[in-house]
Amino acid sequence: MPNAVSLRWILSLLLGMFLSSSAFAQPQGPQPWWPTQPQPLPFLHPLFADDMVLQRDIAAPIWGWAKPGDKIAVQVDGQPAGQPAVAGNDGRWTTKIGPFVAGGPHEIVVEGGGRSAKLTNVLFGDVWLCTGQSNMNWPVRLANHAEDEVKQANVPEIRSFTVSFYSSLVPMKLPPPAKWEICTPEFARNFTAVGYFFARQIHATQKIPIGIIHSSAGATAAEAWVSGEALRREMPHDFPERFAELDKLIAVGGPNFDHFRELEKWTATVDPVSAEKKYISDPQLKTDDWLDISVPKPWEEAGLEPLKEFDGLVWFRHEIDVPESWKGEDLSLVLSVINDVDIVWLNGELIGSTQLPGIRRYLVDRRHVRPGKNVLVAAILNHKGPGGFCSAPANMALHSVVSPGDRRLKLAGTWKVKPAVAITDLKRPFPTPQVSHYKMISSLSNGMIEPLTPFAIKGALWYQGEANGPFWLQYRRLLPTLIADWRKRFEVGEFPFLIVSLANLNALQTKPVEPGWAEIRESQWRTVRRVPNTGLAMTIDIGDPKDIHPRNKQEVGRRLSLVARHLVYGEKDLVYSGPEFTETQIEPTKADKIRLYFKHIHGGLTIKPGDEKLTGFVIAGADKNFVFADAVIEGDTIVVSSPEVPLPKYVRYGWAWNPLVNLYNKEGLPAITFRTDE
């Protein structure tokens, strides 16, 4: 009968196989993270904004979009920076500026093609990409001593750019909407805890600004973060069914699939009269055959006979008088709780669409607003139950983004309404955006990494592996593939890649060898040994046996910072790693003992304070029948033996979910778990 740990491992294996199957390639129904507004390609990529940190000491790329042939020039503090760029046939322009030394604040001005952008409070420093799954996503406000940490998080030279979750079938040009945030209690509470505590250490020791680009998502597998190109080239035989599923999904819409254009095609197809009479765009539309309706109120309760028991597509129109003083401003449109699905236009321009019931908040680009009469149109599709605008009048407004409290137009009142097509008569399904399941291969690479490239970074922090636990052997090739892929795409050479070795979890070890995360930790360690300019932060002693999300992110960040300070910042004498196994020797005069050698001993090998003897070592002969071993520190080595194994050949240390480990160096860093039979 398997024990509890074995059962957990079996369930984990089955779950991993289940979630990695092609059945989960496409979400089953609308998701909260589906796109709600069209994103036109901007003059400047959103990474380049006020309060940003730009990588110091290199020629850093800067890019955006303009009309083909437009010439774009960049100035830093009033002086030309980099060569002028020319927008290509696809509108994209790019140039490089710098190198600049660490410091600031600076002002960057970008001009060309009749457009300009001014970026203020820009710092030059080191930018670290922080990514992985939920333990990287874990915020400061949920870490140890959260209240005090948040209060003290006032470090203006640390800034964070957080990428929201987006799983895409094809590479995206823009990330989900985000902005740079300065490290103050208001914003830092939601920073990645590991990234923030790392940044705090590096800022304090190196005295330079630090930027964090945080792009992570809980429960995600590593293959979701690797580009399709790299996976197909380096691991063509690992995911054949999932490649086939991906290709099938992409073929439905093609790489140039435009979800929002499909929405407009959908309304024109299911209700041809709306297209013929230009419900969306005609400001002079005759609405004699439309009804008056009080908004907000479910249409079934409006007292209008055609809508009393109607489920389906309904059109709404309303005129808004925008004051002259709002000219040239971005506005915010709030449209109550809508049941179930809406498509909204202003002056014929599609503003947004949401496929889940809830309150609507859309940003209205200044280009779509004009002083005076503006026409707001909403097509609402309700499947059953109350339909239309369903919350309080206060939740219906158009207001200034700059000063929402002082400048606000109320939208509650009498609107025009026209029922169109009953739900039973709709022959074409509502369009689905080109998205995928969060474990789909390449999906997060497409949606959350590709849109960031080739922004100049100093290095990357990686806290992931839990989701790949059952597939540790594959992970040996997968993680190096990811590293090479990212290094190619960010175009800054073999940048430092620092890995968090998974923490201890589950019940304390009771058998010499237990299944669990030992193998995935080994795959992480092997990656660091084989891939140049990589480092490992061991966390085997700071996990929470009852929680996959240990709260001590401060120590994780500190240990990562030690690795960075040695590997990246030149502190060669700094103790940055615990003891690392290097080789074994069968004692020449005592064949029943094995001597283990280590590096990163520094002040010497030691046992965790309070413990009387070394634990966590197991030993076996050629039959690999492991038993718990006696282990003794002798100088800079450890001698391992057991009376049950007269001719020992192999040793393992820490081979379990939550192993009995207590070997450190005298600087307090834990030994890396290992086995000699690999």
Q: What is the pLDDT of residues 83-124, one digit of tens each?
A: 999 999 999 999 999 999 999 999 999 999 999 999 999 999
Annotate 333-362 with DSSP letters as a single string.
EEEEEEESEEEEEETTEEEEEE-SSEEEEE
Q: What percent of the chain has pLDDT over 70?
A: 95
Helix (H, G, I), strand (E, B) or coil at 444: helix
Q: Examine the pLDDT at 23 and tell me if it is beyond 70.
A: no
Mean pLDDT score, 161-174: 95
Q: What is the pLDDT of residue 21?
A: 45
* Mean pLDDT, range 332-355, rounded to an integer: 96
- 238: pLDDT strictly greater than 90: yes
Residue 382 has pLDDT above 70, yes or no: yes
Does an H or E element contain 566, and which? helix 553-567
pLDDT (0 to 100) of residue 403: 66
Nearest residue to 50 (alpha-carbon basis) of 112, 125, 129, 118: 118
- Say yes or no to pLDDT of 588 above 90: no
Instruction: Give the predicted TM-score (pTM) of the model.
Output: 0.93
What is the structure's pLDDT at 191? 98
pLDDT of 270-307, one tens digit each? Answer: 999 999 999 999 999 999 999 999 999 999 999 999 99
Q: Is the pLDDT of residue 22 over 70?
A: no
Predicted confidence at residue 253, as pLDDT, reads 67
At 675, list the tokens.
């086995």
Give the least confident one: 178-187, 323-332, 616-625.
Answer: 323-332
* Distance from C-alpha of 87 to C-alpha of 84, rounded to nearest angstrom: 10
Predicted pLDDT of residue 29 = 86
The answer to whether domain 125-227+442-567 has CATH 3.40.50.300 is no
Question: Sorting pLDDT into bands at 50, 70 and 90, what band is 437?
Answer: confident
- CA-CA distance, 143 to 385, in Å (whole number)? 42
- Name the strand (E) or helix (H) holding 478: helix 472-490
Count the neighbouring beta carbons within 10 Å of the beta carbon of residue 258.
15
Residue type, 283: P
**What confidence score (pLDDT) does residue 13 get?**
40
pLDDT for position 6: 42
Q: What is the DSSP letter of 435?
A: B
Pairing verdict, β 155-162 and 180-183: antiparallel
What average pLDDT does range 165-180 have in this prediction?
94
The tokens 């589950």 sit on which residue?
A: 506
261-425 in CATH: which number?
Answer: 2.60.120.260
pLDDT band at 563 (very low <50, low <70, confident <90, very high): very high
Residue 70, classified by CB atoms within 10 Å of its CB into exposed (0-12), middle (13-18) or buried (19+), is middle
pLDDT band at 587 (very low <50, low <70, confident <90, very high): confident
Is the CB of residue 449 less than 8 Å from the CB of residue 489?
yes
Whether residue 497 has pLDDT greater than 90: yes
* φ, ψ (nearest 5 deg) of residue 438: -70, -15
- Supply the mean pLDDT for the chain: 93
Assign 173 a pLDDT band (cuts: 50, 70, 90). Answer: very high
pLDDT in tens, 530-549: 999 999 999 999 999 999 99
Give me the pLDDT at residue 434, please.
Answer: 83
Domain ranges of the chain: 125-227+442-567, 261-425, 580-675
User: Following DSSP, what letter does each residue of 36-98 receive, concatenated?
Assistant: -S--PPPSS-TTS-TT-EEESSS-EEEEEE-STT-EEEEEETTEE-S--EE--TTSEEEEEE-
Q: Cα–Cα distances in Å, from 361 out to 342, 351, 358, 434, 634?
A: 12, 10, 10, 22, 67
**pLDDT for residue 99:** 97
Gap between the Cα atoms of 561 and 568, Å rounded: 10
Q: What is the pLDDT of residue 7?
A: 45
Stretch 258-263: mean pLDDT: 93
Q: How confident is the model at residue 2 (pLDDT cuts 50, 70, 90)?
A: very low
- pLDDT tens readout for residues 182-222: 999 999 999 999 999 999 999 999 999 999 999 999 999 99
The answer to whether 122 touches 48, Cβ cutoff 8 Å, is no
What is residue 310's three-state secondary structure? coil
Contact call for residues 613 and 671 (beta carbons, < 8 A) = no
Q: Count the Cβ atoms, other than its own, within 10 Å of residue 108.
A: 22
